[in-house]
């Protein structure tokens, strides 16, 4: 599964499954762009990957996904620096919170970071994806999407408990992935979503509500390297060539909530997301 000559962007790649996904792509010969919020962690990640892939071309781009302005700046940087993008792994995300928290733009935080930011970034990089032959977009969702379906009339999760915002944002990931698959078909772009499994990483430590669970259940969780395997499969495997609009777990097709197949709902979410991000 050589990736020689490919240019790949992995968001949220300074830790956890994002870092392992970037490591695998670099090891297969790809030029890998690592995204993160911290330049210091970005530098450490590049050093770590270079130990196992010393010949890899690696670079870092910084942006806080709770700010749509920073997402736009990141896209401007990438559009100026690269002539195409072969693989985009939308991996960055925010964990569940027990209180109602807002992004820098005033949107519910999990929805903003987990959905609106990758939605905007993908849109702004669409020309670069189109310029690549058979580009792939990989969207990291979660089995948590089955716990609370997206309410298109309550995208900011004001009518239910804040903890449901994470599940709804992961539901949105699949709707977005499916609609992108439909819209990208004519441009040779495939889009697939996935559940990585429950991972023993720093992700669950972002909020008190999940910190205790992750502490005591870590022994039964996947390692980041194991959790990254489905992302890697969707990004690299020849078996995925031309396959689009799917949902995967353990590198195999999986059953998502049937409501994620609602094309009308996906189109409504796309329209609302376009309005909220100002595109």
Q: What's the pLDDT tens digit per position in 147-195?
A: 999 999 999 999 989 999 999 999 999 999 999 999 999 999 999 999 9
Are the CB atoms for 171 and 148 separated by under 8 Å? yes
d(CA 53, CA 56): 5
**Contacts of residue 229, Cβ cutoff 8 Å, sequence gap at least 6:** 250, 251
Closest-CA residue to 177 (of 129, 258, 247): 247
d(CA 129, CA 277): 20
The pLDDT of residue 230 is above 60: yes
d(CA 236, CA 14): 20
Looking at the annotation, which residues are catalytic? 166
Q: What is the mean pLDDT of residues 2-21?
A: 97
Q: What's the pLDDT tens digit per position in 22-38?
A: 999 999 999 999 999 99
List the chain domain ranges.
7-277
CATH class of the structural domain 7-277: alpha beta
Instruction: Assign 217 a pLDDT band (cuts: 50, 70, 90).
Output: very low
Q: What is the mean pLDDT of residues 224-236?
A: 97
Q: What's the pLDDT tens digit per position in 50-97?
A: 999 999 999 999 999 999 999 999 999 999 999 999 999 999 999 988
Burial of 62 (0-12, 13-18, 19+ CB in 10 A): middle
Phi, psi of 76 (to 5 degrees): -60, -40
| Secondary structure E strands in the chain | 7-10, 31-36, 58-62, 87-90, 136-140, 190-195, 247-249, 252-253
Tell me, letter by letter, the H, E, C secondary structure of 110-165: HHHHHHHHHHHHHHHCHHHHHHCCCCEEEEECCHHHHHCCCCCCCCCCCCCCCCHH
Separation of first and last alpha carbons in the chain: 36
């Amino acid at each position: 599964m050589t990736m020689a000559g490919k240019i790949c962007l992995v968001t949220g790649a300074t830790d956890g499954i994002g870092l392992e996904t970037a490591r695998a792509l670099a090891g297969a010969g790809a030029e890998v762009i690592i995204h993160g919020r911290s330049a210091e962690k970005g530098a450490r990640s590049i050093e770590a990957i270079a130990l196992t892939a010393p010949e890899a071309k690696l670079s870092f781009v910084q942006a806080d996904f709770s700010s749509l302005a920073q997402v736009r700046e990141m896209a401007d940087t990438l559009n100026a620096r690269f002539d195409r993008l072969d693989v985009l792994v939308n991996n960055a995300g925010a964990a569940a919170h027990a209180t109602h928290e807002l992004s820098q733009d005033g949107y519910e935080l999990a929805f903003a970071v987990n959905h609106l930011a990758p939605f905007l970034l993908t849109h702004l990089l669409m020309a670069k994806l189109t310029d690549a032959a058979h580009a792939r977009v990989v969207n990291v969702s979660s089995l948590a999407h089955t716990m609370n379906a997206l309410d298109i009339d309550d995208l900011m999760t004001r009518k239910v408990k804040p903890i449901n915002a994470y599940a709804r944002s992961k539901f949105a990931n699949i709707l977005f992935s499916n609609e992108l698959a439909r819209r990208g078909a004519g441009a040779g772009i495939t889009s697939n979503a996935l559940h990585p499994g429950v991972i023993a990483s720093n992700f669950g430590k972002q909020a008190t509500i999940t910190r205790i669970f992750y502490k005591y259940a870590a022994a039964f969780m996947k390692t980041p390297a194991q959790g990254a395997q489905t992302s890697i499969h969707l990004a690299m495997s020849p078996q995925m060539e031309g396959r689009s609009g799917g949902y995967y777990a353990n590198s195999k097709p999986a059953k998502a909530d049937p409501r994620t197949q609602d094309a009308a709902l996906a189109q409504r979410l796309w329209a609302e997301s376009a309005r909220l991000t100002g595109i």
